[in-house]
């Protein structure tokens, strides 16, 4: 089996992310969940907090590694012999962006392939940004994120959830 990487900001990890992680882990010998520095997104959680939340949410999986990194994904894949990039797709609007990224990664590192996993329809509307926005205004998000992430959201947004 091949080594795969699932990159994202995971701020925070959602049940949609967890679904993709579980499915990708079942398809690969080793899955690296990579928390990427995205300068276009301001994070609610630190990278260390995100890493811990993912590790705690995926304890039931024995072939997962969680890392934080910045730089080009293709270069990380080259340096670490990654063969597959996993990306989740919720809607056609995701596809337009993701296909560009997949093609660029293939150009930069021809040995890597991107595999798109369709999001479970239950999570098709779900994003970390939406979870944070709803939580900041006191909306119920407890069923949208793993329990450990919900507890951390409540702490970060004291009195709002």
According to DSSP, residue 63 is labeled S
Does the active-site annotation cover 46? no
Does the active-site annotation cover 90? yes
Does the active-site annotation cover 106? no
Check: CB of residue 85 under 8 Å from CB of residue 114: yes
Is 150 annotated for ligand binding? no
Which among 89, 96, 94 has a CA at the least distance from the CA of 115? Answer: 89
Is 98 annotated for ligand binding? yes
Is 6 annotated for ligand binding? no
Instruction: Tell me which of 3, 52, 78, 90 is the catalytic residue.
Output: 90
Is 144 annotated for ligand binding? no
Q: 118 - beta bridge partners?
A: 89
Opening angle at CA 140, ends 133 and 89, nearest 5: 60
Is 52 annotated for ligand binding? no
Is 78 annotated for ligand binding? no
Is 24 annotated for ligand binding? no
Instruction: Tell me which of 41, 46, 122, 160 is the catalytic residue.
Output: 41
How is 36-47 classified by DSSP, letter by letter? E--TTS--SS-H
Distance CA 74, CA 120 (A): 27
Does the active-site annotation cover 128? yes
Instruction: Tell me which of 28, 51, 57, 128 is the catalytic residue.
Output: 128
- Which residues carry out catalysis? 17, 41, 90, 128
List residues forming the annotated binding site for ATP.
Answer: 9-10, 17, 88-90, 98, 123-129
* Residue ranges of the binding site: 9-10, 17, 41, 73, 87-90, 98, 123-129
């Amino acid at each position: 089996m091949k080594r795969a990487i699932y990159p994202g900001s995971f701020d925070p990890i959602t049940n949609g992310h967890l679904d993709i992680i579980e499915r990708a882990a079942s398809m690969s010998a080793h899955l690296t969940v990579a928390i990427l520095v995205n300068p276009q997104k301001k994070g609610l959680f630190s990278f260390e907090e995100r890493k811990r939340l993912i590790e705690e949410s995926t304890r039931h999986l024995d072939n997962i590694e969680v890392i934080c990194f910045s730089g080009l994904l293709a270069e990380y894949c080259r340096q670490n012999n990654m063969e597959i990039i996993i990306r989740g797709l919720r809607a056609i609007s995701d596809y337009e962006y993701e296909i560009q990224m997949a093609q660029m990664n293939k150009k930069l590192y021809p040995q890597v392939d991107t595999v798109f996993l369709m999001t479970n329809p239950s999570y098709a509307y779900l994003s970390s940004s939406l979870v944070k926005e709803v939580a900041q205004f006191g909306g119920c998000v407890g069923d949208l994120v793993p329990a450990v992430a919900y507890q951390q959201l409540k702490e970060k947004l004291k009195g709002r959830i």
